[in-house]
């Protein structure tokens, strides 16, 4: 008895623990979302998930367990089972005697009643029972894999794709691929089959409960698709096969596929479980015979079979629409074979299944124990399976090989046009302004002087060398780290009158009444964050981790084009000053007036992974000052107050940190700050969005007049800007990327306060129907971009990740002629460059320059420079430049794409050809080899292609770094133009070597190169 009481106490304890854990999680989440201002988002999401869980789990468990209980009542009792088996045996043993008897035709007392089906002997009973049991095992594997794939995706963080449906092709995949490849699949399925046959009552009910949990788990994780289904937004564009609005495929079709996933599994398992309950009754395996299904058992199975066939009809009806995602033809989407052969058969199969379903349901409600049409059901089902196999495997193969392939271009041309058109729509390639650009190569020294702002913003410092230098010179302490360096542009006051006008779209961050001239400078900005893992092991105590080491401090701001003494980068902002004038050191008073610094504490950043408590008895480390430290008490808006009451217990359970209960350092106003990592922060709020991999820091006064409630003003001017995307894999006919995305828009800009932790979402693309749908679902979450303060609006930029996806699609889908596309005769590629000593694809890069074909502004002034993102293209398996894609980021031109296509009849040097010319030069290669001696190595930086006027200038920096304790220094700059290459200590000297060869400084190296013959 004692062990029973202990077992009961253990169960009660586990139940109470789980309940308290659930309450702590729910309570902590509500407090956190209330702090960031998105509690309504959380409540709607958690309510939807909880409702789906209860609905799906409850309906599934009630239906399956109810049918199994009903089947237990209808199955054969032991006495009836023995009688019927003996009757069958008696009939078999007396066949010969009755044959000789004159009463033989009247012998019916030993036959089964006419209301039953024919008995099943062991040779039929065993394979049927095994087949059903193995099918249950396959179902468990299929739905279990889906559930496990969601296990590592926390409920509040990601929206999974529509899981694979349990159809014939999935069953074949499980049997032929996964089961053969992994032995544990075989063991699992065989174990399930043996368990069901041995103990059918217990295991069929247990599996029913398991399916209830799995279905509830899977459907609740797809809460976003359910909400989208009930709040769709029209795309006002239709796909060509069915003429439906694209919103049907984005919002409605995934919902019906989820319903099919649930319904097919529910009714298939119910039918199999009830059938096995009947087949394994009457001790049929031991007796070697099953008496046959009784009238009530048949009626029960007819009803379940009718419901299952309803979902089979739904499955094939949905399969018709899923043909727009077919990969059978030469392009993505429905091909000639799909439209002419598969589509009609799917329609027939759907209608056929619907007829069978209605007949079975009609037989269920209008039951007759005898029906002369009963045998036609089995014939129909057999014919149906034959047609299914023919439709899915045989017919498409025959049509593809005998009809399509001999005339492929002619047959597939309309479908190629569809794929091209809809892929360009899905990736927003149609807005690209394609222009022909023919560099004439007549750049002069006067042109260089006229484009002085472009020249002074050519990037000589790449992110990686600058980060290495920062880590050596600017980390100050071991516990500081620079995780990233980001390209941006700032409008800065100049010490002297500027020679070049600034862009009219630029919003100046300085006082608008000032008369001092300004200029735009391209800079690298890097945050000095706290890295607690770098704290010495002996000092990694609970108090240090959560109470003292709470935040980073400051940032560095470096111009991309200037070099300081010893080849090191110059800094506009650096170090930690800690004085009354400025918290950080600035290079000049003009920089101090241009870049707001304030108190640059970073409580929320890219590597802030620990939770901290602020407002305690323990002072927080602010920054080091000489041999001492300066301390601070956090007074921001972030964090949840825990004080000394029940909230401390709640958060102790939530964070699994029991030392919070016993510390004496907490005060009534103590707050806990968690989810301080900015990516984790925004993923928790908006898991239905995808986020750019590169958040970037901005220093700006977002609330100069204290009138913007979204941005508290207390001397903090550091903000993170992150781009967010709406994506889908359901856009019809649109070819997918490697990440299985076939629709994307850069619809949202997110701004996070690095001190307060406030998060604001701004809609950047109002044309996107998906973000319009989310705006309707969460009406108070998204704000118009016009609400973003001008000082921050001037820093938004075209995101690199989005640009990469578009540029990758453009390599193929710039070809709009179906025949050219079919032949792939104009395929592009992203060229390689030498970085360090290894070849790698060219990365998109930002420049401040004027676009060649943009019209002149009024008067005789030159074009206005702007901040753009660039990427070159070369033809497939060739190295000459063929095109060049530019994305604009300033003012009203934000988001506009320009494609410059170079003439094919002449050679325009590509990056690989310029790299080859550099490395083939005997003097340059000799110098690089000398630097690559023991203990140091030369690093060739990013090769930039700079458009100036109607010409192209190629610039590549050379860094020198030690193999240990790397501190990269800029030692040379290589400039190439037309048939000349110059390497010099500075960019100015290299340009002089190109355009004033007679006054080239001695260190410069000039090598004329013969123009190679143009390639076809």
* Residue that has been written with the tokens 């096969």 in this structure: 241
- Whether 102 shows a pLDDT value over 70: the answer reads no
Is the separation of the CB atoms in 808 and 763 below 8 Å?
A: no
- Do 988 and 972 meet the contact criterion of CB atoms below 8 Å apart? no
Q: How many residues does the chain have?
A: 1016
Segment 461-484 mean pLDDT: 89
Position of tokens 């594997």? Answer: 141
Q: Determine the pLDDT at residue 176.
A: 67
What is the rounded average pLDDT of the residues 128-157?
80
* Strand-pair partners of 628: 625
Q: Is the pLDDT of residue 997 over 80?
A: no
Rg (CA), the chain: 36
Does pLDDT of 627 surpass 90?
Answer: no
Q: 623 by DSSP, 3-state: which?
A: strand
Kindly state the DSSP code that residue 163 receives in the 8-state scheme. P
Give, to the nearest 10 degrees, the angle between helix 253-279 and helix 223-230.
120
> In whole angstroms, how far apart are CA 492 and each of 3, 572, 584?
78, 10, 17
436 C-beta neighbours (distance < 10 Å), count:
10
pLDDT value of residue 499: 42
Q: What average pLDDT does range 137-151 have in this prediction?
A: 86
How confident is the model at residue 999, as a pLDDT?
Answer: 54
Q: Which pLDDT belongs to residue 371?
A: 62
Residues 6+ away with beta carbon under 8 Å from 95: none
Percent of the chain with pLDDT over 70: 88
Convert 806-841 to b/e letters by CB count within 10 Å (16 or more is b). bbebbbbbbbeebeebbeeeeebebbbbbbeeeeee
Cβ(350)–Cβ(320) below 8 Å: yes
Identify the helix (H) or strand (E) that includes residue 295. Answer: helix 295-322
Q: Which two tokens stand for residue 453?
A: 């702002």
Phi/psi for 530 (5° steps) reads -90, 125
Q: Note the pTM of the prediction, 2 decimals.
A: 0.89
**Residue 1012 pLDDT > 70, yes or no?**
no
Q: Looking at residue 389, what is its pLDDT? A: 79
Q: What does the pLDDT look like over 362-372, one tens digit per residue?
A: 988 887 766 66
Picking from 825, 841, 833, 827, the residue whose alpha carbon sits closest to that of residue 876 is 827
Place of tokens 């980068």: 569
Using an 8 Å Cβ cutoff, are 686 and 775 in contact?
Answer: no
The answer, yes or no, to whether residue 895 has pLDDT greater than 80, is: yes
Per-residue pLDDT band for 1003 (boundaries 50, 70, 90) equals: low
Q: Report how far residue 586's alpha carbon sits from residue 566's, in angstroms, rounded to the nearest whole number.
A: 20
Exposure on the CB side of residue 457, measured as CA atoms within 13 A: 29
pLDDT computed for residue 508 by the predictor: 42
Type and span of the H or E element at 493 = strand 486-493
Is 459 within 8 Å of 968 (Cβ atoms)? no
At 155, the pLDDT band (50, 70, 90 cuts) reads very low
Nearest to 459 by CA among 868, 901, 902: 868
Long-range contacts of 294-297 (CB under 8 A, 24+ apart): 294/74, 294/76, 294/115, 294/116, 295/115, 295/116, 295/367, 295/369, 296/74, 297/71, 297/74, 297/75
pLDDT of residue 212: 96
Mean pLDDT score of the chain = 86
At 472, is the pLDDT very low, low, confident or very high (cuts 50, 70, 90)? confident
Mean pLDDT, residues 579-596: 88
Strand ranges (E), 817-941 = 828-829, 832-835, 838-841, 845-849, 866-875, 883-888, 897-901, 936-940
Segment 225-246, tens digit of pLDDT = 999 999 999 999 999 999 999 9
What is the biggest distance separating any 2 CA atoms in the chain, rounded to whole angstroms?
A: 131
pLDDT at residue 510 tops 70: no
Q: Per-residue pLDDT tens for 918-936?
A: 888 888 888 888 888 877 8
Residue 251 has pLDDT above 70, yes or no: yes
In this structure, what are the phi and psi dihedrals at residue 40, rounded to the nearest 5 degrees? -65, -35
- 630 strand-pairing partners: 623
> Highest mean pLDDT: which of 113-117, 212-216, 735-739?
212-216
pLDDT above 90: residue 388: no
Q: What is the mean pLDDT of residues 385-392?
A: 78
The DSSP string of 22-67 is HHHHHHHHHHHHHHHT-HHHHHHHHHHHHHHHHHHHHHHHHHHHHH
Greater model confidence, 338 or 167: 338
The H or E element that residue 969 is part of is strand 969-977
Q: What is the dihedral of CA 348, 354, 360, 366, to 10 degrees?
A: -120
| Tens digits of residue pLDDT in 512-524 | 444 678 888 999 9
Distance CA 45, CA 237 (A): 30
Would you say residue 866 has pLDDT above 80?
yes
Q: Please give the structure tokens belonging to residue 877.
A: 């398996």
Specify the pLDDT at position 217.
Answer: 93
Tokens of 215: 């279905």
Query: Distances in Å between the alpha carbon of 263 and those of 205, 213, 230, 275, 322?
Result: 18, 14, 19, 18, 18
What is the band of 150 on the pLDDT scale with cuts at 50, 70, 90? Answer: confident
Highest mean pLDDT among 115-119, 138-142, 263-267, 533-537: 263-267
Confidence of residue 80 (pLDDT cuts 50, 70, 90): low
Residue 66 pLDDT level (bands cut at 50, 70, 90): very high
Contact 910, 1012 (CB under 8 A): no
Report the C-alpha gap between 203 and 346 in whole angstroms. 36
Q: So what's the pLDDT on residue 518? A: 85
Closest by CA position to 72, among listed 307, 297, 369: 297
Confidence band for 808, pLDDT divided at 50, 70 and 90: very high
**For residue 17, how many other CB atoms are within 10 A of its CB?**
11
Q: Please tell me the predicted confidence (pLDDT) of residue 180.
A: 58
| Arithmetic mean of pLDDT, 329-334 | 91
User: What are 673-726's pLDDT values in tens digits?
Assistant: 999 999 999 999 999 999 999 999 999 998 877 767 788 877 889 999 999 999
Residues 6+ apart with CB under 8 A from 100: none
Closest among 484, 482, 478 to 540, alpha carbons compared: 478
Cβ atoms of residues 426 and 731 within 8 Å:
yes
Tens of pLDDT along 637-653? 999 999 778 899 999 99
């Amino acid at each position: 008895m004692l062990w029973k009481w202990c077992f009961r106490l253990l169960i009660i304890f586990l139940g109470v623990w789980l309940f308290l854990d659930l309450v702590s999680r729910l309570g902590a989440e509500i407090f956190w979302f209330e702090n960031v201002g998105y509690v309504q988002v959380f409540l709607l999401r958690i309510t939807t998930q909880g409702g789906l869980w209860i609905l799906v789990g409850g309906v599934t468990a009630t239906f399956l367990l109810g049918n199994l209980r009903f089947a237990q009542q209808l199955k054969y009792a032991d006495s009836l089972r023995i009688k019927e088996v003996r009757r069958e045996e008696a009939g078999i043993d007396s066949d010969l005697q009755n044959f000789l008897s004159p009463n033989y035709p009247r012998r019916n007392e030993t036959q089964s009643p006419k209301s039953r089906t024919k008995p099943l002997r062991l040779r039929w009973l065993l394979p049927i029972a095994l087949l059903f049991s193995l099918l249950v095992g396959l179902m468990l594997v299929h739905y279990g894999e889906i559930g496990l794939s969601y296990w590592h995706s926390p409920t509040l963080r990601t929206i999974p794709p529509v899981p694979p449906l349990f159809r014939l092709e999935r069953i074949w995949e499980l049997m032929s691929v996964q089961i053969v490849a992994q032995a544990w699949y075989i063991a699992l399925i065989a174990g399930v089959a043996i368990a069901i046959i041995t103990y059918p009552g217990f295991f069929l009910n247990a599996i029913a409960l398991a399916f209830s949990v799995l279905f509830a788990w899977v459907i609740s994780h797809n809460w976003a698709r359910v909400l989208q289904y009930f709040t769709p937004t029209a795309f006002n564009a239709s796909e060509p096969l069915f003429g439906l609005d694209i919103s049907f495929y984005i919002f409605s079709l995934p919902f019906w596929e989820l319903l099919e996933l649930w319904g097919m599994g529910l009714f298939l398992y119910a039918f199999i479980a009830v059938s096995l309950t009947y087949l394994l009754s009457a001790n049929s395996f031991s007796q070697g015979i099953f008496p046959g299904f009784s009238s009530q058992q048949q009626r029960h199975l007819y009803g379940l079979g009718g419901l299952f066939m309803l979902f089979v009809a739904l499955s094939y009806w949905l399969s018709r629409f899923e043909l727009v995602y077919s990969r059978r033809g030469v392009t993505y989407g429905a091909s000639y074979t799909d439209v002419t052969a598969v589509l009609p058969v799917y329609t027939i199969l759907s209608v056929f299944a619907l007829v069978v379903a209605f007949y079975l349901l009609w037989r269920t409600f209008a039951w007759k124990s005898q029906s002369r049409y009963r045998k036609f059901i089995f014939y129909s089902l057999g014919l149906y399976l034959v047609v299914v196999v023919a439709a899915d495997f045989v017919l498409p193969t025959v049509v593809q090989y005998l009809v399509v392939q001999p005339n492929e271009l002619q047959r597939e041309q309309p479908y190629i046009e569809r794929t091209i058109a809809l892929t360009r729509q899905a990736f927003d390639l149609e807005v690209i302004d394609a222009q022909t650009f023919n560099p004439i190569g007549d750049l002069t020294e006067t042109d260089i002087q006229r484009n002085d702002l472009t020249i002074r913003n050519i990037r000589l410092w790449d992110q990686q060398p600058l980060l290495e230098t920062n880590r050596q010179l600017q980390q100050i302490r071991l516990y500081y780290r620079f995780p990233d360096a980001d390209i941006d542009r700032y409008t800065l006051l100049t010490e002297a009158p500027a020679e070049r006008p600034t862009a009219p779209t630029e919003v100046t961050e300085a006082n608008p009444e000032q008369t001092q001239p300004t200029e735009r400078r391209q800079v690298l900005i890097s945050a000095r964050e706290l890295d607690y893992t770098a704290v010495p092991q002996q000092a990694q105590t609970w108090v240090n981790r959560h109470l003292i080491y709470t935040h980073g401090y400051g940032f560095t701001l470096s111009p991309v084009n200037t070099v300081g003494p010893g080849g090191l980068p110059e800094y506009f902002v650096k170090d930690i000053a800690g004085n009354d004038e400025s918290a950080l050191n600035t290079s000049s008073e003009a920089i101090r007036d241009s870049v707001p610094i304030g108190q640059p504490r970073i409580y929320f950043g890219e590597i802030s992974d620990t939770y901290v408590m602020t407002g305690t008895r323990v002072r927080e480390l602010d920054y080091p000052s000489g041999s001492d430290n300066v301390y601070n008490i956090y007074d921001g808006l972030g964090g949840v107050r825990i004080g000394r009451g029940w909230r401390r217990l709640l958060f102790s359970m939530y964070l699994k940190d029991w030392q919070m209960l016993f510390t004496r350092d907490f005060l009534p106003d103590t707050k806990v700050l968690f989810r301080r990592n900015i990516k984790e922060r925004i993923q928790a709020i908006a898991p239905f969005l995808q986020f750019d991999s590169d958040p970037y820091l901005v220093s700006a006064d977002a609330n100069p007049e204290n009138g913007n409630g979204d941005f508290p003003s207390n001397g903090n001017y550091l903000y993170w800007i992150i781009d967010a995307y709406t994506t889908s894999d359901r856009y019809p006919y649109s070819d997918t990327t490697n990440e299985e995305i076939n629709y994307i828009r850069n619809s949202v800009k997110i701004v996070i306060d690095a001190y307060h932790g406030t998060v604001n979402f701004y809609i950047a693309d109002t044309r996107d129907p998906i973000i319009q749908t989310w705006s309707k679902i969460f009406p108070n979450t998204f704000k118009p971009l016009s609400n973003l303060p001008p000082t921050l609006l001037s820093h938004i930029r075209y995101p690199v990740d989005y640009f990469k996806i578009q540029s990758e699609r453009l390599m193929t889908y710039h070809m709009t002629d179906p025949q050219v596309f079919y032949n792939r005769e104009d395929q592009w590629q992203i060229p390689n460059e030498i970085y360090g000593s290894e070849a790698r694809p060219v990365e998109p890069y930002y420049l401040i320059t004027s676009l060649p074909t943009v019209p002149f502004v009024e008067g005789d002034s030159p074009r206005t420079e702007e901040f753009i993102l660039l990427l070159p293209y070369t033809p497939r398996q060739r190295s000459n430049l063929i095109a060049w894609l530019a994305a604009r980021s300033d003012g009203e031109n934000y988001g506009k794409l320009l494609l410059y296509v170079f003439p094919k009849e002449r050679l325009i040097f590509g990056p690989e050809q310029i790299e080859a010319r550099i490395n083939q030069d005997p003097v340059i290669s000799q110098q690089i080899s000398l630097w690559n001696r023991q203990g140091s190595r030369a690093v060739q930086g990013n090769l930039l292609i700079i458009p100036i006027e109607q010409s192209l200038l190629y610039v590549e920096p050379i860094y020198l770094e030690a193999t240990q304790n790397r501190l990269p220094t800029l030692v040379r700059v290589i400039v190439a133009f037309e048939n000349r290459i110059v390497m010099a200590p500075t960019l100015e000297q290299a340009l002089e070597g190109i355009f004033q060869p007679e006054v080239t400084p001695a260190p410069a190296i000039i090598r004329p190169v013969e123009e190679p013959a143009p390639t076809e």
